């Protein structure tokens, strides 16, 4: 829902009594820009208020385990029959049906089940999780795209639909070329650490003061000249792309020996001047201090939900030149807008 809010949607978060929200910056980042109301969907009054709220909505987004919404009587079969123009959007751990449908699911479980942990990290080092909750974010991104597509389809057909995805489905999908090679060539991808699995040299290399990422897509001899080691291009071990893969360890050692004479910043400048993609390896603090990141204005200051100070949130990473989305705004306190929203509902759809 956050991504829809970032693109200009008006969103109301519905929470249950005693709901344990994410605290601090995690919650602020996730729930910014939403109004928040508290309803007990297990009570007749709470459920009735929720159904009245749905009657005013274009989109409903939920992430219950699949059986829960049906048990509450708010499944897509019920609500779409009552509101045919509704776009009903669901995220689950493993899908809406099947043998795992009612299991509890979180990002790390999906990373392991979807194959990602088997291809992450140094060779033969055991499974490694990716350092961010990647399936949470990607599932939200795919669902936001589906909601936009469903709303566009509704403009042509006049009816909404149920769109749904899961952490597992999106995890398998973003395995992408690793999955494609197994599906078509039967090649089981392994761990290659910071090296590209099918290209060499492409990876992370030591410099005089740190690390540099390089991706020499163009002529290998041009890259060798740029790092001051033109003889590598004539070495029989590295003449062809398959040779460079086969002798990756020797090539990487030779490249690091050449890169040891200058700093990361010097190599980034020199390699980019030679049209070789290259960049430093930064920590989070250094990332936000980087001149290009600062130029892109990736953050916004918004009011704190309960104090006079401000907090900083991330902006949506897409720029719309003709139809800009909503400006980032502060997160709500859980249940902050309950009275306000219910009063609006009474004005629009009187109870009963």
In the set 31, 196, 316, 337, the catalytic residue is 196
Report d(CA 306, CA 336) in Å as an integer.
Answer: 11
CB burial of 224-259 (b: ≥16 within 10 Å; e: otherwise) equals bebbebeebeebeebeeeeebbebbeebbebbeebb
Name 234's Cβ contacts closer than 8 Å, sequence gap at least 6.
none
With 0-12 / 13-18 / 19 or more C-beta atoms within 10 angstroms meaning exposed / middle / buried, residue 264 is buried
- Side-chain half-sphere CA neighbours of 152 within 13 A: 6
3-state secondary structure of 210: coil
| Pairing status of strand 87-92 against strand 59-62 | parallel
Cα angle value 35/315/308 (rounded, 5°): 55
Helix (H) / strand (E) element for 51: namely helix 44-55
What are the backbone angles phi and psi of residue 60, rounded to the nearest 5°?
Answer: -115, 130
Per-residue tokens: 267: 């190599």
Name 341's Cβ contacts closer than 8 Å, sequence gap at least 6.
12, 35, 37, 53
CA 323, 327, 331, 337 dihedral sign is negative
Note if 337 is an active site residue.
Answer: no
Active site residues: 196
């Amino acid at each position: 829902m956050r991504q829809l809010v970032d693109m200009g949607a008006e969103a109301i978060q519905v929470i249950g009594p005693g709901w344990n929200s994410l605290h601090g910056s995690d919650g602020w980042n996730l729930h910014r820009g939403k109004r928040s109301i508290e309803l007990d969907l297990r009570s007749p009054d709470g459920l009735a208020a929720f159904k009245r709220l749905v009657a005013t909505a274009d989109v409903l987004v939920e992430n219950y385990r699949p059986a829960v919404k049906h048990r509450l009587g708010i499944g897509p079969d019920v609500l779409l029959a009552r509101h045919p123009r509704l776009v009903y959007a669901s995220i689950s751990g493993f899908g809406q049906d099947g043998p795992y449908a009612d299991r509890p699911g979180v990002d790390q479980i999906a990373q392991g089940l979807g194959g990602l942990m088997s291809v992450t990290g140094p060779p033969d080092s055991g499974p490694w999780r990716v350092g961010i909750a990647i399936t949470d974010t990607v599932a939200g991104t795919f669902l936001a795209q589906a909601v936009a597509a469903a709303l566009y389809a509704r403009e042509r057909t006049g009816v909404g639909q149920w769109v749904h995805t899961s952490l597992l489905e999106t995890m398998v999908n973003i395995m992408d070329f690793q999955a494609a090679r197994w599906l078509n060539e039967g090649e089981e991808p392994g761990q290659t650490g910071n090296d590209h699995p099918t290209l060499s040299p492409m990876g992370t290399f030591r410099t005089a003061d740190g690390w540099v990422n390089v991706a020499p897509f163009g002529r290998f001899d041009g890259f060798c000249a740029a790092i001051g080691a033109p003889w590598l291009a004539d070495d029989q071990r590295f003449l062809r792309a398959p040779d460079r893969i086969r002798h990756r360890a020797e090539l990487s050692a030779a490249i690091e020996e050449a890169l040891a004479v200058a700093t990361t910043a010097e190599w980034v400048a020199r390699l980019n001047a030679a049209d070789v993609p290259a960049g430093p390896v930064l920590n989070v603090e250094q990332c936000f201090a980087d001149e290009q990141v600062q130029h892109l204005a990736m953050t916004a200051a918004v009011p704190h939900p309960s104090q006079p100070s401000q907090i900083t949130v991330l902006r949506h990473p897409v720029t719309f030149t003709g139809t800009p989305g909503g400006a980032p705004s502060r997160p709500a306190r859980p249940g902050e807008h309950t009275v306000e929203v219910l009063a609006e509902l009474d004005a629009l759809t009187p109870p009963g």
